[in-house]
Amino acid sequence: MAAGTAQDTQNFVTLKGSVELIVDFFNYSLNSILYQRGVFPEESFIPTQHYGLTMYMSKMPEIKKYTDEILPHLKQWLTEGKIKKLVLALCDVNSKEPLECWEFRIVAEETPTGEIKQQGTKPLKDIQQEIRNVLRQITACVTFLPLLDCVCSFDLQVHTKKDAQGEGWGDVQPLSIQNAQEVQLRSFSTSIQNVHTFVSYKSA
């Protein structure tokens, strides 16, 4: 009986595993959005298999450098329960106006003492299926989002609690879109942290 219980526990994620899954999800989501929305040329991405899906990852050195620099910060803050949401904005490169914002809102499961949970209660395969569903939906969003008919850049904001520490980061004004339409996509939960995905865009 004890051996069976131990085996079951091994299939549940820890806080470290939860953080790895969320950071991995965000990295694939970021690249997928940049690809699907045509922010960079199609030929600057390479297809890769992930969660049984074909995902497109940027092969541009500057994008790889950017993600390599930011992901460790995300891991640290997620582990500490400091992140409230991640916002990826696609902006008109000339006017700097945000045209489309993708929000990933993070809600941590806490213990009765207010600390973030260290051990999950959800099988890994169930979490991976939920993540797969969100990634599929992100890819499908191109069917209803307005065409981005100008050259765009992207901006990433990490909204943290006030006591979050990180070198090279500063306070900025939250990004907002005038006359925005917001669509809530699927969510996923590791049973330690929950991720709720939204996309907002400028309506005609």
Q: What is the pTM of this model?
A: 0.90
Distance of alpha carbon 127 from alpha carbon 116, whole angstroms: 18
Please say whether the beta carbons of 148 and 37 come within 8 A: yes
pLDDT band at 5 (very low <50, low <70, confident <90, very high): very low
pLDDT, greater one: 166 or 53: 53
| CA distances (Å), origin 199, targets 97, 121, 158, 202 | 16, 29, 16, 10
151-197 per-position pLDDT tens digit: 999 999 999 987 666 555 566 777 888 889 999 999 999 999 999 99
Domains and CATH numbers, the chain: 2-202 (3.30.900.10)
3-state secondary structure of 1: coil
